[in-house]
Amino acid sequence: MLRALLCMLCFVLLSACSKPEYQGSDISGASLGGDFALMDHKGKARTLADFKGKVVVMFFGYTHCPDVCPTTMIELKNAMQQLGSKADQVQVLFVSVDPDRDTQQVLNQYVPVFDSRFLGLTGNATQLAEVAGRYKIIYQKQMSSSGDYTVDHSAGSYLLDKSGKPRVMVSYGAGAGVFVHDLTLLLNE
Protein backbone atom coordinates (compact mmCIF):
# COMPACT_ATOMS: atom_id res chain seq x y z
CA MET A 1 0.00 0.00 0.00
CA LEU A 2 2.78 2.45 0.94
CA ARG A 3 4.67 1.49 -2.19
CA ALA A 4 1.61 2.24 -4.36
CA LEU A 5 1.15 5.64 -2.71
CA LEU A 6 4.82 6.50 -3.23
CA CYS A 7 4.59 5.48 -6.90
CA MET A 8 1.49 7.60 -7.37
CA LEU A 9 3.15 10.57 -5.64
CA CYS A 10 6.21 10.23 -7.90
CA PHE A 11 3.97 10.12 -10.97
CA VAL A 12 2.13 13.28 -9.92
CA LEU A 13 5.38 15.11 -9.16
CA LEU A 14 7.01 14.06 -12.43
CA SER A 15 3.98 15.00 -14.49
CA ALA A 16 3.94 18.42 -12.82
CA CYS A 17 7.53 18.97 -13.97
CA SER A 18 7.00 17.90 -17.56
CA LYS A 19 6.49 20.27 -20.48
CA PRO A 20 2.91 21.03 -21.45
CA GLU A 21 1.46 18.77 -24.11
CA TYR A 22 0.38 21.09 -26.89
CA GLN A 23 -1.94 19.81 -29.59
CA GLY A 24 -0.19 22.10 -32.07
CA SER A 25 3.54 21.83 -32.76
CA ASP A 26 5.76 22.90 -29.87
CA ILE A 27 8.21 25.45 -31.30
CA SER A 28 9.59 26.68 -27.97
CA GLY A 29 13.17 27.78 -28.49
CA ALA A 30 12.89 27.93 -32.30
CA SER A 31 14.89 30.70 -33.95
CA LEU A 32 11.94 32.68 -35.22
CA GLY A 33 9.79 35.57 -34.19
CA GLY A 34 10.67 38.96 -32.86
CA ASP A 35 9.39 42.48 -32.69
CA PHE A 36 7.71 44.36 -35.51
CA ALA A 37 6.43 47.84 -36.29
CA LEU A 38 3.18 47.79 -38.28
CA MET A 39 -0.03 49.81 -38.48
CA ASP A 40 -3.28 48.33 -37.16
CA HIS A 41 -6.63 48.61 -38.93
CA LYS A 42 -7.57 51.51 -36.66
CA GLY A 43 -4.54 53.56 -37.75
CA LYS A 44 -2.45 52.99 -34.62
CA ALA A 45 1.23 52.05 -34.84
CA ARG A 46 1.80 48.66 -33.18
CA THR A 47 4.76 46.65 -31.94
CA LEU A 48 4.87 43.26 -30.26
CA ALA A 49 5.62 45.02 -26.96
CA ASP A 50 2.08 46.48 -27.04
CA PHE A 51 0.74 43.02 -26.24
CA LYS A 52 3.11 42.02 -23.42
CA GLY A 53 1.16 40.16 -20.76
CA LYS A 54 -1.26 38.70 -23.30
CA VAL A 55 -1.02 35.49 -25.26
CA VAL A 56 -0.80 36.45 -28.94
CA VAL A 57 -2.04 34.56 -31.98
CA MET A 58 -0.29 35.67 -35.19
CA PHE A 59 -1.81 34.63 -38.48
CA PHE A 60 -0.47 35.82 -41.83
CA GLY A 61 -3.01 36.11 -44.63
CA TYR A 62 -4.94 38.47 -46.85
CA THR A 63 -8.51 39.71 -47.12
CA HIS A 64 -9.16 38.43 -50.65
CA CYS A 65 -8.19 34.88 -49.66
CA PRO A 66 -10.91 32.48 -50.80
CA ASP A 67 -10.48 29.72 -48.21
CA VAL A 68 -7.55 29.48 -45.76
CA CYS A 69 -7.89 32.94 -44.20
CA PRO A 70 -11.63 33.06 -43.56
CA THR A 71 -11.56 29.46 -42.29
CA THR A 72 -8.76 30.25 -39.83
CA MET A 73 -10.43 33.47 -38.72
CA ILE A 74 -13.68 31.57 -38.03
CA GLU A 75 -11.75 28.96 -36.03
CA LEU A 76 -10.17 31.77 -34.01
CA LYS A 77 -13.55 33.44 -33.51
CA ASN A 78 -14.98 30.15 -32.23
CA ALA A 79 -11.96 29.61 -29.98
CA MET A 80 -12.40 33.05 -28.44
CA GLN A 81 -16.06 32.31 -27.76
CA GLN A 82 -15.13 29.00 -26.10
CA LEU A 83 -12.49 30.71 -23.95
CA GLY A 84 -15.15 32.97 -22.47
CA SER A 85 -13.73 35.70 -20.22
CA LYS A 86 -10.18 34.30 -20.69
CA ALA A 87 -10.36 35.52 -24.30
CA ASP A 88 -9.69 39.05 -23.05
CA GLN A 89 -6.15 37.86 -22.22
CA VAL A 90 -5.57 36.82 -25.87
CA GLN A 91 -4.75 39.12 -28.79
CA VAL A 92 -5.32 37.82 -32.33
CA LEU A 93 -3.22 39.58 -34.97
CA PHE A 94 -4.08 39.14 -38.65
CA VAL A 95 -0.93 40.24 -40.51
CA SER A 96 -1.56 41.03 -44.18
CA VAL A 97 0.72 39.62 -46.86
CA ASP A 98 -1.05 41.73 -49.51
CA PRO A 99 -0.12 45.37 -48.85
CA ASP A 100 -1.33 46.46 -52.30
CA ARG A 101 -4.96 45.65 -51.53
CA ASP A 102 -5.10 45.33 -47.74
CA THR A 103 -5.16 48.96 -46.78
CA GLN A 104 -6.09 50.11 -43.30
CA GLN A 105 -9.65 50.72 -44.51
CA VAL A 106 -9.99 47.25 -46.07
CA LEU A 107 -8.65 45.58 -42.93
CA ASN A 108 -11.03 47.71 -40.84
CA GLN A 109 -13.97 46.26 -42.79
CA TYR A 110 -12.68 42.68 -42.74
CA VAL A 111 -11.02 41.83 -39.42
CA PRO A 112 -13.65 43.05 -36.88
CA VAL A 113 -16.34 41.01 -38.65
CA PHE A 114 -14.83 37.94 -37.01
CA ASP A 115 -14.25 39.47 -33.55
CA SER A 116 -14.06 43.12 -32.54
CA ARG A 117 -10.97 42.36 -30.42
CA PHE A 118 -8.95 41.08 -33.40
CA LEU A 119 -6.47 43.45 -34.99
CA GLY A 120 -5.46 43.59 -38.63
CA LEU A 121 -1.88 44.71 -39.24
CA THR A 122 -0.36 46.09 -42.42
CA GLY A 123 2.61 48.06 -43.63
CA ASN A 124 4.54 48.62 -46.81
CA ALA A 125 5.95 45.69 -48.79
CA THR A 126 9.37 45.98 -47.16
CA GLN A 127 7.99 46.05 -43.61
CA LEU A 128 5.74 43.06 -44.24
CA ALA A 129 8.53 41.07 -45.89
CA GLU A 130 10.74 41.74 -42.86
CA VAL A 131 8.09 40.57 -40.37
CA ALA A 132 7.17 37.55 -42.48
CA GLY A 133 10.85 36.63 -42.72
CA ARG A 134 11.24 36.72 -38.95
CA TYR A 135 8.36 34.28 -38.63
CA LYS A 136 9.49 32.09 -41.57
CA ILE A 137 6.35 32.92 -43.55
CA ILE A 138 6.46 32.33 -47.28
CA TYR A 139 4.10 34.20 -49.60
CA GLN A 140 3.97 34.96 -53.30
CA LYS A 141 1.52 36.56 -55.73
CA GLN A 142 0.02 34.26 -58.35
CA MET A 143 -1.20 36.26 -61.34
CA SER A 144 -4.16 35.06 -63.36
CA SER A 145 -4.72 35.59 -67.08
CA SER A 146 -7.33 38.25 -66.22
CA GLY A 147 -4.71 40.36 -64.44
CA ASP A 148 -6.11 39.59 -60.99
CA TYR A 149 -4.07 37.68 -58.45
CA THR A 150 -4.18 35.47 -55.41
CA VAL A 151 -1.44 35.15 -52.81
CA ASP A 152 -0.04 31.75 -51.92
CA HIS A 153 1.07 31.87 -48.29
CA SER A 154 2.05 29.79 -45.28
CA ALA A 155 -1.14 28.83 -43.51
CA GLY A 156 -0.21 28.09 -39.89
CA SER A 157 -0.86 30.29 -36.88
CA TYR A 158 1.72 31.12 -34.23
CA LEU A 159 0.88 31.26 -30.54
CA LEU A 160 3.21 33.52 -28.56
CA ASP A 161 3.43 33.41 -24.78
CA LYS A 162 2.86 36.41 -22.53
CA SER A 163 6.43 37.58 -23.04
CA GLY A 164 6.16 37.42 -26.86
CA LYS A 165 8.11 34.22 -27.45
CA PRO A 166 6.75 31.83 -30.13
CA ARG A 167 5.68 28.62 -28.42
CA VAL A 168 3.19 26.79 -30.65
CA MET A 169 2.41 26.54 -34.35
CA VAL A 170 -1.15 25.49 -35.12
CA SER A 171 -1.58 23.98 -38.57
CA TYR A 172 -4.29 25.12 -40.95
CA GLY A 173 -7.59 23.35 -40.37
CA ALA A 174 -6.69 22.07 -36.89
CA GLY A 175 -9.97 23.43 -35.51
CA ALA A 176 -11.02 25.74 -32.72
CA GLY A 177 -10.51 23.02 -30.11
CA VAL A 178 -6.75 22.93 -30.73
CA PHE A 179 -6.55 26.71 -30.32
CA VAL A 180 -8.60 26.55 -27.09
CA HIS A 181 -6.46 23.76 -25.65
CA ASP A 182 -3.11 25.37 -26.43
CA LEU A 183 -4.17 28.92 -25.58
CA THR A 184 -5.45 27.68 -22.23
CA LEU A 185 -2.07 26.09 -21.47
CA LEU A 186 -0.29 29.34 -22.33
CA LEU A 187 -2.75 31.44 -20.35
CA ASN A 188 -2.19 29.25 -17.29
CA GLU A 189 1.61 29.65 -17.32
pLDDT, residue 18, reads: 57
pLDDT, residue 72, reads: 97
Superfamily of domain 30-187 in CATH is Glutaredoxin (3.40.30.10)
Orientation angle between helical segments 104-114 and 68-83, nearest 10 degrees: 50
Radius of gyration of the chain (CA): 19
Phi/psi at 122 (nearest 5 deg)?
-145, 170
β-partners of residue 110 are none
pLDDT, residue 20, reads: 72
Domain residue ranges in the chain: 30-187
Length of the chain: 189
pLDDT, residue 8, reads: 47
pLDDT, residue 31, reads: 94
pLDDT under 70: residue ranges of the chain = 1-19
Binding-site residues for Cu cation, in ranges, read: 65, 69, 153
The verdict on pTM exceeding 0.85 is yes
Are the C-beta atoms of residues 122 and 104 closer than 8 Å to each other?
A: yes
Binding-site residues, in ranges, read: 65, 69, 153
Dist CA 141 CA 136 (whole Å): 17
